[in-house]
Every structure is written in C-alpha cells, then in structure tokens.
Structure 1
C-alpha cells in the first residue's frame, strides 16, 4: 500500500525537481513555475486512449523514414528552468535519445488526454508552455469521454491554428503523417 508523498513546499529548479523526483518511489509528478504537481491516478478510459493514440502515431510513422519515435508517458518536456511536463504521448524527432534520457530533446508532437482534474490546465497553462518549446509543432488535447480532439498547430509565422475533430483524418505535417481520429479512441462499449 502506498503512502501519500509530501510535496516540497519551496520552489524548485528543474535540476532540483529531477533529483527530488528520482527519490520518490510512488507517483508521477510535473513541475510548474517551480512548484511540484502530483499527477492523479489514471482511469481505464484514459489509459486505453493513451495506448490507442500511441499505436496510431507509431503505425502512421512506420516505414516513413521520418527519424521520429513515439513515446508513451514517462519522458519529460522541459519548458524552462522552472517547468517540465510529462505528456501522455509524445513524438520525438531527430537524434535518437540515449537509453538513460529522461527528457525529450526535440519533441514535435505532444498529446494530453484530459480528465476532469486536468482539463483546465491542459487547455491553458500547458498549451502556452508547450508552445514555448520551439520544436513542438502539434499539441493534441484528447477528450476521451466526448471523443473529440483539439489540435493546436504552430504554423508559418509562429501563429497557432486550433481545430476540433470528432472524426475524419488529422494531418500532422511535419512529420508528414495522417491519423484517423477514430483510431485514437478505444471502441465504444456496446449498448444493450
């Protein structure tokens, strides 16, 4: 049985956060403006959606020679010295990460599957934070309960172009792939 982790009361730098998080045996954490934020346990629908999204992106990249790799949660996206997020899925492009890497060096696509406790933060604070990272071109916010995807894309001129999908095909360029929206979600439970 796990016990609650006491979060640091003082603000931490990124280096201090990594050292603190390495010592924790339970839980997942993010850093925002120097404050440690504990991540809530995931529900089955959330985990199924993360898996489906990871597989859909992996399949879209397969054999394309993009030099990109898909990662489920676990790798950190460093925003600045006081903020680091752990997206549910990310696509890392460029040089292959070292086996002991804990942060993505060139994240291109980041994905958050929202839950009631994270919805507001995913749509605001993380949106701003992720696009402070110059390599990020796509941020997908997936609402598994409503089966919609909000796609924010950095376009030429550094503007953001948001689009909402409930079906169809989502083109992600770069890296020049497409995924069917339906493939990002687990099958709906049969009625009756």
Structure 2
C-alpha cells in the first residue's frame, strides 16, 4: 500500500509503516469503526494520535517465531485466568492526551478484558523485529506500551538471529538482552524460554 492509499469511503489517509506523519487527522472513533469492520483479508492498520499506518506483511521467520512464542505461552497458561493473543488482537493505549491502537505479535492479558477487539491491560507484549519495524518497535511502541499500567514486560525478538531484548517495569524499563546458550525468564507469566530452542528454525 502506498503512502497515498485511502481507506474506506471516508477517504481516511493510510500511510505505510514508518512513513512521516501527515496532517490528515482521523478520530479514534472513525478508525475503530472502519478497522473493526475490516474484511479478514484486508490490510490491518495501527493508529497513533490521529494518524493511521498500514502494516507490512510478515516474513517466514517472523511467522515461525511468533507462532512458537504463542504456542509456548498458550500451553504454559492453559489452566490459568491469563489469555494469549496473536497479531489480530489490538492493544489500546488510552491516557490523557494519548490515544493509540497497536497490533502486537503476541500479548498476554490476565485481567477481565471486555472489549471485543482490543485489550487494555496486557501484562506481557512481544514484538518480532524486522528491518521495517525495528526503529518503531524500540522507540514509539516502547514509549506507548509503558503507559499501560498493567504491563510488566515488553519483549523484542529478532527474526533473523537468536537475540531477545526485554524491557521490564520493575527495572525501570532498562534494556536486558539474551542470546545463544541463555534462558529468558518471562517474569510476568513465570515462563522460562531457551533462546536456542526458540530459534531452532534457524539451524
């Protein structure tokens, strides 16, 4: 989708991931109305304070890694009140003067969520990094996700090499990183992940 693409009959501006902000303001209500009615094969869009960005497609490695993370979390949490979601469930960030909607690759919420299309209180969010999203994931999304009171951990996983970054609330969101031969502890859900096993598809 090009930077000049339009969404729906209201001609709401949609811009590629990473495009410079535009002046066309879209209200949260208009975004949600159109996005929640999107066809299953339609392009998903994220929202940041009036701007809509079309999401790029995911690579094979991206799908394998996000799928492996989902399966491990789903199995680990299957008999708990926590629920695991993949990339079709939005996260809503709603604070004074800041309104955003993102589609994390994987998220976990242990709260009683009532919105059909978005979680507001995830405790864990995981994004799989790609060349086109790495800057946004490490800056814009990190600053946005930190505004969620329930969030305890934000995890970034490289799709092309065995490398995992973790930002934790208890550590004032300071960077921790893990690589080959190490085990990642997801404290928010009590799960240990071997980096080597997680990235077995790269061998």
Alignment TM-score, normalising by the size of structure 2: 0.80
Instruction: Verify the 8 A CA contact 1:155 1:161 in the aligned structure 2.
Output: no
Structure 2 partner of 1:152: 167
Q: Alpha carbon RMSD of aligned pairs, Å?
A: 2.3
Q: C-alpha displacement at 1:186, in angstroms?
A: 4.5
CA distance in 2, matches of 1:115, 1:188: 15
* Distance change (3 Å), C-alpha of 1:70 and 1:182: farther
Aligned counterparts of 1:12 and 1:141: Cα–Cα separation in 2: 29
The answer on whether the counterparts of 1:13 and 1:82 sit within 8 Å (CA) in structure 2 is no
Pick from 133, 146, 159 the counterpart of residue 118 of structure 1. 133
Alignment of 1:20 with 2:7, yes or no, is: no
| CA shift in 2, pair 1:76/1:83, >3 Å | same
CA contact (8 A) 2:93 2:120 kept: no
Deviations 1:1-32 (A, max 9, x none): x9995142322232221112134431011001
Matched, 1:85 2:97: no
TM-score by length of 1: 0.84
Higher RCO (CA-CA < 8 Å; seq separation 6+): 1
**Residues 1:162 and 1:60: Cα distance change in structure 2 (over 3 Å):** farther
- Kindly indicate whether the alpha-carbon contact (under 8 Å) linking 2:124 and 2:188 is maintained by their aligned counterparts in 1: no
Q: How many residues align?
A: 182
Structure 1, 133-142 or 162-171: larger mean CA deviation:
162-171
CA contact (8 A) 1:53 1:183 kept: no
